[in-house]
Structure 1
Amino acid sequence: MSIAGDPNVDQPVQRHWKFRWEDLATLPAKGERHVQPRGGAFRMYAEGAFKGFDIECLPLLKKSVKLRGQGRCVYCGGTHDAAGRPLKLTSEHVVPEFLGAGLELTASSCDACQTKTSSFEHALSEDLFGPARSVLDIKGKSGTLDLRHIRLDLGGLTSDPHVLPAFHHPTILILPSLYPAPAFSSAPVGIDHPYAFWMYNINADKKALDQYDIEAFSTQTVDQLRFSQLLAKIGHVYGSSYFGVGSFQPALTQLIRGDYPIADPNPPREFYSHIGCLWQCRDYDGKSECLHEIQPGSINFNGKLTKAVRIRLFSCFDMPSYFVALE
């Protein structure tokens, strides 16, 4: 019998997920974080232990910090073009600037790779993080995202978008909780669904929605493939700076540089093979004073040490830690 946590190798990849609030009376209070769904049987896997080094705290107030580049593209390793001319390398933000982060690796991305990373970052900036960016006034490259109206999905399996004024839009920050990655656990390759969703209620209010006769709504859709690209990019870029290019055999560059259109009928099933959560690692629970956290370290699984990076987006809202195996 198949239960949650088993790979769906005989089914199409489940790339897009959202959570539907059927009963608005169960909404968490503003400023609270809840995990949904709760209960039910799920598969447990043996997992590695993370040993972290210094935590890089990205503050609530955006601060520009520059890390020295490695003299080559951090993604493709290129230094010269086909004609032998030095590549023009631009700075690369470790955490995307649209998430209010100012940490960047100088001279580290060629034009071709920057085009690829910008593609999935732009999609996530609007589809997953857009409402939260606007309501929280998070400052990006072009300032804050001042949306007067925001789309709300009233549908279930089929989207049913409606537009609400931003001050009444039920903005809930949603991030998936993942199974441990096969690279540092006994989990098999091919688990393409989240274990649960961590949701922080920024301003969702039942009374405000009653004015519009709204009885149920769905959260923003999580494109798991693009989200895994984002986590892979953050981990790989920071790990390359901290550990040094050449200190590990990169396992994530193909995923980061991949082009996966929404309509792609055969996306890779292994996008979480090196990215996941560690359920037994409770050292980083609770709200943080940082907007985001990044921490290099290593994961020991069955005596094998793997260079890794812990990523905690919106740690100030008590959101989950993700662990990215670099090799």
Structure 2
Amino acid sequence: MSTYLLAGPNLRCWLAVLDEHEQNKYEEGPIFEVLMLRTPSGGYLFDPAGRCIYCGAGGPLTREHIVPFGLFGDLVLPAASCRGCQEVTSGLETFVLKRMLGVTRTKYGFRSQNSRKRRRQDGASIRRIERDGSRTEIPLETDQLPFHSWALPVFNTPALAWQAPYEDVVRDDKLEFRVGRDDAETALEAGGGLHPIEMPVGVYDPQKFTRFLAKVAHGYACAVLGVDGFPHLLGEFVRSGHEQPRIFVGGELDIEEPRPTIYELALGTTLAWNGQRFLGVRMRFLSFLGTPTYTAVVSEHLEQEIELPDHAAYEKPIKVTVKGRNDEVLFRSG
């Protein structure tokens, strides 16, 4: 059996599991099982922004979950988004939560603003590849959904901080995935065991995902430093996008080990190739699954170092026990 990622139109991501010569051959990879998953209460309510952090409108204003509620986001910035911008950011969050991470969120029972609606809509299915090349769709029950598989982009640093042309900056970008033996066996069994199958992991759209990351970073910077605490850079990009979406948003090519957190945010300053000072936010979501780390430049050309408060970094912890390939405990928290 070999495991590989298929990318079709619009970079729709499918994890293809092939049984070659009816032999159980599995591609070795990170194998782990989440035995316990609980999120402690907590969070932080920031001071009201008083105007839309994206377009500057004065009202009426809604509160802003910096990280979506559906990812256990508990950092709230009141009076921070006008109705129009709220519709835009809500659309970006819905795409990421449902199209990119819907299978994972369903498996782990992540909360939703409308959990009944999510359970009805976020079901997944596999596609069995028949001998004539046609596909037969087979629905999966919730308990058959992937345990920990994911497919997410891995980015180099934001292009704004590079001297090289944009095309050179994004050359090393790739779609990375993790699939475990249990996931592959579940999908094969559901497909009858003898046919190659395709297992959906998610849908990736570079514009929507980078704008989502920019939305989180911009909101966190506004909450920590105040709306007037730094020169804004990302408001228009969040609202309308950019033909080069990686100019403000990037990441780290090396993927860190899993950590017992749902998400991690950190605000800080850094220097670019030409000595200019940038303000950026480092982000990681579903860290307990060993996912990539992302960064976004929220302000450029800072004349001096910005004094950061104590809460410039935040982690949402989970109580979790994770076991590996031979039933050994990889880490335990709580």
Q: TM-score, normalised by structure 2?
A: 0.70
Q: Please name the residue that 2:13 is paired with.
A: 18
Pairs within 5 Å for 1:147-166:
149-152=123-126, 162-166=138-142
Q: Give the superposition deviation at 1:297.
A: 0.6
Alpha-carbon RMSD across the aligned residues, in angstroms, is 3.1
Q: Give the superposition deviation at 1:17.
A: 4.6
Identity of aligned residues (%): 21
Matched, 1:113 2:90: no
Q: Please name the residue that 2:223 is paired with.
A: 241
Q: Is the 8 A contact 2:63 2:81 kept in 1?
A: yes
1:201–1:108 CA distance, 2 compared to 1 (3 A)? farther
Q: Please name the residue that 1:124 is paired with.
A: 96
CA distance in 1, matches of 2:114, 2:66: 17
1:207–1:285 CA distance, 2 compared to 1 (3 A)? closer
1:253 to 213, 235, 239: 235
Q: Is the 8 A contact 2:210 2:249 kept in 1?
A: yes
Q: Is the 8 A contact 1:177 1:197 kept in 2?
A: yes
Q: Please name the residue that 1:177 is paired with.
A: 154
Tell me: higher relative CO, structure 1 or 2? Use CA pairs within 8 A at least 6 residues apart. Answer: 1
SS in 1 for 2:296: strand
CA distance in 1, matches of 2:179, 2:266: 23
Instruction: In structure 2, give the amino acid aligned to 1:88.
Output: P
Q: If each structure's helix is expressed as a fraction of its own residues, which one has the higher value?
A: 2
Q: TM-score, normalised by structure 1?
A: 0.72
Q: Give the superposition deviation at 1:27.
A: 6.4
CA distance in 2, matches of 1:251, 1:192: 24
CA distance in 2, matches of 1:159, 1:325: 43
The structure that has the greater radius of gyration is 2
Q: Is the 8 A contact 1:152 1:169 kept in 2?
A: no
Deviates more, 1:126-135 or 1:178-187: 178-187
Stretches of structure 1 that go unaligned for 5 or more consecutive residues are 1-13, 34-58, 80-86, 260-267
Q: Give the superposition deviation at 1:249.
A: 2.8
SS in 1 for 2:152: strand
Residues paired across the two proteins, number? 269
Q: Give the superposition deviation at 1:74.
A: 0.9
Q: Give the superposition deviation at 1:221.
A: 1.8
Q: Give the superposition deviation at 1:208.
A: 4.9
Q: Is the 8 A contact 2:270 2:277 kept in 1?
A: yes
Q: Please name the residue that 2:303 is paired with.
A: none
1:92–1:193 CA distance, 2 compared to 1 (3 A)? farther
Poorly superposed stretches of 4+, deviation over 6 Å: none
CA distance in 1, matches of 2:222, 2:45: 14
1:244–1:211 CA distance, 2 compared to 1 (3 A)? closer
1:183–1:99 CA distance, 2 compared to 1 (3 A)? same
Instruction: In structure 1, give the amino acid aligned to 2:166.
Output: V
Stretches of structure 2 that go unaligned for 5 or more consecutive residues are 1-8, 20-25, 300-334
CA distance in 1, matches of 2:206, 2:295: 15
1:193–1:19 CA distance, 2 compared to 1 (3 A)? farther
Matched, 1:293 2:264: yes
CA distance in 2, matches of 1:154, 1:128: 21
Matched, 1:270 2:244: yes
Matched, 1:67 2:46: yes
1:111–1:200 CA distance, 2 compared to 1 (3 A)? farther
Matched, 1:322 2:294: yes
1:241–1:211 CA distance, 2 compared to 1 (3 A)? closer
CA distance in 2, matches of 1:108, 1:117: 12
